[in-house]
Structure 1
Amino acid sequence: MALLEVNNLDVRFAMRGGEVCALRDVSFSLERGERLGIVGESGAGKSVAAFTILNLIAKPGYIAGGEIKFDGTVLNTMKPKALQSIRGNRISMIFQDPMMTLNPVLTIGAQMIECLKAHRRISTKDARAIALHKLNQVFIPSPEKRLDQYPHELSGGMRQRIIIAIALLLDPDIIVADEPTTALDVTIQAEIMELLLLLCEKHNVGLILITHDLGVVSQVTQRTLVMYAGRVIEQGPTREIINDAQHPYTQGLINALPQMATPGSRLNQIRGSMPTLTKIPAGCAFNPRCDFASDICLQEVPNFVGSGNCKVACHMVDAMVKGQPWTPILTDKPVTKTVPLPEVNA
């Protein structure tokens, strides 16, 4: 049994003009010590999926269907008080902006000690010792000094290291990192991701990494979910997805990486933009931006099809796997093979 299982999750927001669906039929799992990446553009539903795991969706949002199981316990039906024993204790979260996470009027030590006392019966002296140990683990220089400093006295990279230390305070089974390097420069980003990878491997902690950067995912995670308009459209081993993406959207994300463009030329981009929740296209939500869309893409939501060790929700890939010709609307020319498809397991 997987440590974390998310099955057919639907999340909706009640609006004045009617409900909108932020997550549709999202399913994935995480084994103990496994590193999972969730990627996609802004608005794809990545952060909503992360917040929903810990039931941090605020009203008017709510879980409309599906199940979230952690270590055999169903989280989405637990009472708030019972959920507190898991949230921050066995499942920790790292948010995008450390200055929004840390309390500006409390010292780093006071915040770490408060976190420990909220979940354990422990003296202030012992809590401070644990906080000091965790700061050492994330390679904070002069950790004794940092405990008595305020967040504004630290650099952005150091604040993010402290957030990671706080996430590790109670030795969690899973860390959910929601774009943890967004506000940092490239050099510090690499240091933070290397630190997360080292800590997860050393302590056998599961990691769910939310990001829009496939370059980061390729270096840190073992499996990847690609999301678009609230749905998972491709999932599988990270190496297979990076080296041989099947869905046209995933191909577009990879082609948009700076290193994929010729030096001196314009960067590649996916035409159009992510649809709003109130205007999700019929059929495959990606069809208005897809160069390979056919008539069926405008009418039917694609089911998952197996391709190698990956699963892809794409009518075109389904046709290619079955050896059928494919005629995109934009070209009216039959396509026999759009991407190199691995052999499908029987």
Structure 2
Amino acid sequence: MSLLSVRDLTVKFASRDGAMAALNGISFDLARGERLGIVGESGAGKSITGFALMNLLSKPGFIDGGEILFEGEDVTQMSPKQVRDMRGNRMAMIFQDPMVTLNPVLTIGQQMVETLRAHRNLSFEEARQIALVKLKEVYIPSPDERLDQYPHELSGGMRQRIIIAMALLLDPKLIIADEPTTALDVTIQADIMELLLEMCQSNQVGLILITHDLGVVSQVTERTMVMYAGRIIETGATRSIINDPQHPYTQGLINALPQQTPPGQRLKQIPGAMPTLSAMPTGCPFHTRCAHVTDECKRTAPEVSQFGDTAVACHEVHRLQRDLPKEVAQ
């Protein structure tokens, strides 16, 4: 049995003009200990997917249909108490800004101890010792001192390490990391992603990494899912997606990487912009930006079909001639 099985998940946002779909019937599976990357531009539905999996959607957003089976239990049908027991305990989320996650008026130790005691029958000292061990695991220097410090007294990289430690406090089966290194500089980003990968591998924790950075995905994940306008348009082994993309949108993302452009030349970009929820085109949502668009693309949304090592939602995938370099990933 898969650790996570999502089937036909639809998320909508209520508005005066009617409900608008932010996720449109997405389906995917995650095996125990597997690392999955979700990539796409802003507005593709990546973060909404993460929030829906954690049952963290707030109004006007709501799950309109489908199943989220986590260890065989449907998250969409859980009671509020069951959801509280699941969050942090069995499924944890790392957000892109640690200052949003951490309470500024409580010390790091207070926050970690409260988290542990909310889910485990532990004394204060027992919880503090576990917190200390977790800080050591993520290579926090002088962990005893850090427990008694406030978030604003720590650097951005230190705060993100503490968020990872807090996510691992209760030994969850799945971690959802939503752009976990966005606010950090490049060298610290690499350290944090290496740490997250190490923690997941050593603890056999499933990981869903939500990011727009294909370089990070190529280094950390085993499988990649490309999203566009609330749909999954391509999924497969990460190496296959990076080195031999099939969908025109994925090809555009690869072509836009800086290393794909010779020095001194303008960076390549995908023309146009992601459609808004209120102005979603008919047929394939990417057809307004696609160089290979046909009348069929404008009329009907493509079904997902297997092409080589990847599953692709494109009418023209069998016809397209690809000329991407085959050695993009390092």
TM-score, length-scaled by structure 1? 0.92
TM-score, length-scaled by structure 2? 0.97
* 1:51-62 correspondence runs (5 A): 51-62=51-62
What does residue 322 of structure 2 align with? 338
1:264 and 1:338 map into 2 onto residues whose CA distance is 25
Matched, 1:217 2:201: no
Q: Which amino acid is the alignment partner of residue 265 of structure 1? A: Q
1:266 and 1:88 map into 2 onto residues whose CA distance is 45
What does residue 10 of structure 1 align with? 10
Q: Is the 8 A contact 1:44 1:229 kept in 2?
A: yes
Q: Is the 8 A contact 1:9 1:24 kept in 2?
A: yes
* 1:121-200 correspondence runs (5 A): 121-200=121-200
What does residue 273 of structure 1 align with? 273
What does residue 285 of structure 1 align with? 285
What does residue 325 of structure 1 align with? none
Q: Which amino acid is the alignment partner of residue 49 of structure 1? A: T
What does residue 323 of structure 1 align with? none
2:27 and 2:309 map into 1 onto residues whose CA distance is 16
1:132 and 1:75 map into 2 onto residues whose CA distance is 32
Q: Which SS does the other structure have where 1:163 is aligned?
A: helix
Q: Which SS does the other structure have where 1:25 is aligned?
A: strand
Question: What is the CA distance between 1:17 and its match in structure 2?
Answer: 1.4
Question: What is the CA distance between 1:134 and its match in structure 2?
Answer: 0.3
1:294 and 1:262 map into 2 onto residues whose CA distance is 31
* 1:103-122 correspondence runs (5 A): 103-122=103-122
Q: Is the 8 A contact 1:94 1:163 kept in 2?
A: yes
What does residue 28 of structure 2 align with? 28
1:116 and 1:309 map into 2 onto residues whose CA distance is 42
What does residue 254 of structure 2 align with? 254
What does residue 48 of structure 2 align with? 48
What does residue 228 of structure 2 align with? 228
Question: What is the CA distance between 1:85 and its match in structure 2?
Answer: 1.2
Q: Is the 8 A contact 1:246 1:339 kept in 2?
A: no
1:184 and 1:242 map into 2 onto residues whose CA distance is 24
Question: What is the CA distance between 1:339 and its match in structure 2?
Answer: 5.4
Q: Which amino acid is the alignment partner of residue 273 of structure 2? A: S
2:315 and 2:323 map into 1 onto residues whose CA distance is 14
Q: Which SS does the other structure have where 1:117 is aligned?
A: helix
1:227 and 1:40 map into 2 onto residues whose CA distance is 5
Q: Which amino acid is the alignment partner of residue 251 of structure 2? A: Q
Question: Which blocks of at least 5 consecutive residues in structure 1 are unaligned?
Answer: 321-334, 341-346
RMSD of aligned residue pairs (Cα, Å): 1.1
Q: Deviations over 1:216-238 (max 9, x none)?
A: 10000000100000000000100
Question: What is the CA distance between 1:83 and its match in structure 2?
Answer: 1.4
Q: Deviations over 1:146-165 (max 9, x none)?
A: 00000000000000000000
Q: Which SS does the other structure have where 1:65 is aligned?
A: strand
2:171 and 2:207 map into 1 onto residues whose CA distance is 13
1:64 and 1:124 map into 2 onto residues whose CA distance is 42
1:77 and 1:59 map into 2 onto residues whose CA distance is 17
1:338 and 1:242 map into 2 onto residues whose CA distance is 13
Counting matched residue pairs gives: 325
Q: Which amino acid is the alignment partner of residue 8 of structure 2? A: N
What does residue 328 of structure 2 align with? none
Question: What is the CA distance between 1:309 and its match in structure 2?
Answer: 2.1
Q: Deviations over 1:282-340 (max 9, x none)?
A: 110001111111111111100111112210000111x43xxxxxxxxxxxxxx6x3358
Q: Deviations over 1:83-128 (max 9, x none)?
A: 1111110100000100111000000000000100110110000000
1:259 and 1:338 map into 2 onto residues whose CA distance is 18
Runs of 4+ with >2 A deviation: 337-340
Question: What is the CA distance between 1:27 and its match in structure 2?
Answer: 0.6
What does residue 327 of structure 2 align with? none
Q: Which amino acid is the alignment partner of residue 338 of structure 1? A: R
Matched, 1:98 2:82: no
2:261 and 2:186 map into 1 onto residues whose CA distance is 19
Q: Deviations over 1:269-290 (max 9, x none)?
A: 1111111000111110001111
Q: Which SS does the other structure have where 2:281 is aligned?
A: coil
Question: What is the CA distance between 1:143 and its match in structure 2?
Answer: 0.5
What does residue 87 of structure 2 align with? 87
Q: Is the 8 A contact 1:45 1:229 kept in 2?
A: yes
Q: Which SS does the other structure have where 1:26 is aligned?
A: strand
1:108 and 1:264 map into 2 onto residues whose CA distance is 47
